[in-house]
């Protein structure tokens, strides 16, 4: 497979799994199910059900800190989307377009910060300035 196609499939898989814990999940799920089932409309429901099950796995993984489980879901969809673009080269354009959907854009940063003892932790979703003129 062409490396550009691999990159698009990998980015789409990462965006899909990343969207599973966001407000835009329903829209992302519907769009991905439609793309994956395009040549077999009856498959859209099956893909949608599979996405719902994987979303539950991701939500549980995030609650329990199981990064491996979330990575397994991402790897599954990476492989699936790679096979899709191999079988249907026209799907590449659809996947590339999906990457720009607002439903797949994280609207706010997500922080996983752990501090212990006397540690100080500073999180920022943008620039952070210390010292200087105030």
Handedness of CA 30, 66, 7, 100 (dihedral sign): positive
Q: What is the pLDDT of residue 88?
A: 87
Distance separating the N- and C-terminal Cα atoms of the chain: 55
What is the structure's pLDDT at 110?
55
Name the nearest CA neighbour of 75 among 10, 8, 122, 123.
10
So what's the pLDDT on residue 37? 85
**CA 98 – CA 102 distance, rounded (Å):** 9
pLDDT digits (tens, 9 = 90+) for 30-78: 889 989 888 677 889 999 999 999 999 999 999 999 999 999 999 999 9
Distance CA 75, CA 59 (A): 16
Q: Write out pLDDT tens, residues 76-124.
A: 999 999 999 998 888 888 888 778 777 665 544 555 666 778 777 776 6
Residue 70 CB neighbour total at 10 angstroms: 21
What pTM does this model have? 0.72
């Amino acid at each position: 497979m062409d490396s550009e196609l691999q990159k698009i499939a990998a980015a789409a898989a990462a965006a899909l799994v990343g969207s599973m814990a966001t407000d835009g999940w329903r829209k992302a799920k519907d769009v991905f199910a439609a793309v994956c089932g395009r040549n077999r409309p009856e498959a859209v429901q099956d893909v949608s059900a599979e996405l719902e099950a994987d979303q539950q796995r991701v939500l549980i993984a995030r609650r329990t800190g199981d990064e491996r489980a979330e990575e397994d879901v991402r790897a599954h969809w990476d492989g699936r989307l790679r096979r899709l673009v191999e079988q249907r080269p026209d799907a590449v354009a659809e996947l590339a377009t999906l990457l720009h959907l607002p439903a797949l854009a994280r609207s706010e940063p997500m922080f996983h910060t752990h501090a212990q003892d006397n540690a100080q932790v500073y999180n920022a979703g943008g620039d952070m300035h210390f010292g200087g003129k105030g």
